[in-house]
Chains A and B, each alone.
Chain A
Amino acid sequence: MKFCLFGADKISLPWAEKIQAVLVRKRIGVIYKFERATVSNKGVASIDDGKNLLSSVDAVIITCNIPTGEVNYLIASAVSNNKPLLCFVSDNNGIPEALQTFLKDYRNFGKTILDIHTFSYSDFEDNLNVFIDKIVDIILTERPRIKFTLRITPAIDKYLSEKSAETGLSKADFVRDLIFKEKKD
């Protein structure tokens, strides 16, 4: 699992660093850019194929004092890539009206999570944890729709048949569960 984290300005930088620490603690990969810092090598490498940076991550987190043009661009990119987004805006300034109008319209047809909060010390970590849990749930409960052929040996097939009988799951569900467990850990 990989998140994109953007600390848009100096004022919100301590929040971005706090989020980074939480993500690292939860063993979630992170491509980040903080004000006056450079994009990590990993970030640069992921955009060389011309894809939108956000298409390679599972979710986006932004911290800012006031949403600037760059923040609005990232929000728009996250929405168009159907990526869950959490944006912390300083409670000194509140959420700008244009953004509030967009959120209101978006909730009428949007499929992904789009949470924009004003932040304060008291509820910050709660919001972050709720958001991360929501994303993990979405990723794990999404209906499988990509089909591909996997060639296996007779020994693996025998093993899967035994496991299927033992657990009451189909062979495909059993393999999927193994991957989910691996991803969650």
Chain B
Amino acid sequence: MKSKILLIFAFQSSCLQEAHKKEVLHFLLKTPEIKLIADYDIKFIFFAPGLTGWKHIVDVVYSNYSDYFGVILFVDIDRVLFLSNIISFVFQSLNKAIVFTGAKQNLLVNSVDAKSNLINSFQIASIPIQEVCLVFGSRVLRPSRSFISRDSQYNLFSATEDGLIGKIDFGFTPISMKQSSRNSKMIFAPNINDRISHLNLYPFTNLEVLTCGVGDGALIQGGIIDNQATEAIHKCCDRVVLFDTQGHRQCDQCINIEKCQLEAAVSKLMWSLGQTHDLKKFRNLFKANLTGEWGYSL
């Protein structure tokens, strides 16, 4: 294994992608101090919208994973939570770090946080952290327990107590790190099913919407699940996740979840649906606490 870091810049494809690439290379040329922390190779991914794009990113990470000491993905902050959650489920039992970072402003040269986030990410990718993490501001977070925060200009994300991997001050100060052997074998489970719906049940929502085709799985958020709603859910589909709902009844089709992050729940639903067609296996897989996403056993 080369003791090198792979730095991936992943942006949605656009007509400006060549200009974007040029800007990134210029930015890196003006930041030679990164090479003091680690040597690195750069890759650009300009991905298509939707599942094809996500798979593209997963494929690039997988095909390079074994050749590098760590991987850094610099992505748009709007997508970083979903993408890092999906990667957490696709790549399990990691023996190195896959770090997600980004910048508040798209134009890197003018960005106040791009340089600092990137330098911190290199520091994290160079030490034996063995999981997917988000590095923004002074925090190193577990994606499945993270959420957007407005704490400060720099800490763009926050996490529940069990989602804080560590803090960055003079270097990295660990708080709760996963420990596994550097020689452990990574589990790669890349199938994702994007045919899902996310519905908010407001008090006056017409429950007929549930019968209009919600795809292979649905996440229903909020609302009161009474007899009428349960009946509608039965007609809807057989893989339904109830997220922070009230008054729900025991039903085989539904899995109740609460106190978790929406991005983690949606990503887990897509990933679990991609792994199996069997209802029982799906339920077991979804309920399993793979990356600490539930914070507790369901």
B139 within 8 A of A: yes
Tell me, in angstroms, the Cα distance from A99 to B36 when the chains sit together: 7
Q: Which of A50, A74, A76 has the most CB of B within 10 A?
A: A50
Do B171 and A80 have beta carbons less than 8 Å apart?
no
Do B116 and A80 have beta carbons less than 8 Å apart?
yes
Interface string of B111-132 (1 = CB under 8 A from A): 0000110011011001100000
Tell me, in angstroms, the Cα distance from A6 to B170 when the chains sit together: 8
Do A39 and B171 have beta carbons less than 8 Å apart?
no
Q: How far apart are A38's CB and chain B's nearest CB, in angstroms?
A: 9
Interface string of B165-187 (1 = CB under 8 A from A): 00111110100000000000000
Do A76 and B169 have beta carbons less than 8 Å apart?
no
Do B36 and A51 have beta carbons less than 8 Å apart?
no
Tell me, in angstroms, the Cα distance from A124 to B155 when the chains sit together: 39
Do B37 and A73 have beta carbons less than 8 Å apart?
yes
Q: With A53-B138, A69-B123 as known contacts, state yes or no: A80 contacts B170, CB within 8 Å.
A: no
Q: How far apart are B43's CB and chain A's nearest CB, in angstroms?
A: 21
Do B136 and A47 have beta carbons less than 8 Å apart?
no
Stretch at the interface among B27-35, B221-229, B278-286: B27-35
Name A's interface SS. helix
Do B171 and A50 have beta carbons less than 8 Å apart?
no
B78 within 8 A of A: no
Interface string of B16-41 (1 = CB under 8 A from A): 00000000000000011111110000
A70 within 8 A of B: yes
Q: Determine the chain B residues whose CB is within 8 A of the CB of A39 once the complex forms.
A: 169-170, 173
Q: How far apart are A49's CB and chain B's nearest CB, in angstroms?
A: 4
Q: Determine the chain B residues whose CB is within 8 A of the CB of A52 once the complex forms.
A: 116, 120, 138
Q: Determine the chain A residues whose CB is within 8 A of the CB of B32 once the complex forms.
A: 102, 105-106
Q: Which of B36, B119, B126, B136 has the most CB of A within 10 A?
A: B36
B70 within 8 A of A: no
Interface string of B138-175 (1 = CB under 8 A from A): 11000000000001111100000000000111110100
Contact of B152 among A50, A55, A79, A80 (CB under 8 A): A50
Contact of B170 among A48, A50, A74 (CB under 8 A): A74
Q: Nearest chain-A residue to B116 (Cβ)?
A: A52
B137 within 8 A of A: yes
Q: Determine the chain B residues whose CB is within 8 A of the CB of A4 once the complex forms.
A: 170
Q: With A73-B37, A75-B33 as known contacts, state yes or no: A51 contacts B119, CB within 8 Å.
A: no
Q: With A52-B138, A69-B123, A80-B116 as known contacts, state yes or no: A33 contacts B169, CB within 8 Å.
A: yes
Q: How far apart are A139's CB and chain B's nearest CB, in angstroms?
A: 22
Tell me, in angstroms, the Cα distance from A70 to B174 when the chains sit together: 14
Do A49 and B155 have beta carbons less than 8 Å apart?
yes
Tell me, in angstroms, the Cα distance from A69 to B3 when the chains sit together: 13
Q: With A39-B170, A69-B123, A69-B127 as known contacts, state yes or no: A50 contacts B154, CB within 8 Å.
A: yes
Closest 7 CB pairs of A and B: A50-B137, A50-B154, A50-B155, A76-B33, A70-B171, A79-B33, A49-B152
For this complex, 25 residue pairs linking A to B, each with C-beta atoms less than 8 Å apart, are: A39-B173, A43-B169, A47-B167, A49-B152, A49-B155, A50-B152, A50-B154, A51-B138, A52-B116, A69-B123, A69-B127, A70-B171, A72-B36, A73-B36, A73-B37, A73-B119, A73-B122, A73-B171, A76-B122, A77-B119, A81-B116, A98-B35, A99-B36, A102-B32, A102-B36
Q: Which residues of A contact B (CB under 8 A)?
A: 4, 6, 33, 39, 43-44, 47-53, 55, 69-70, 72-77, 79-81, 98-99, 102, 105-106
Q: 4 other contacts beyond A6-B170, A72-B36, with CB at 8 A cut-off?
A: A48-B152, A53-B168, A55-B116, A102-B35
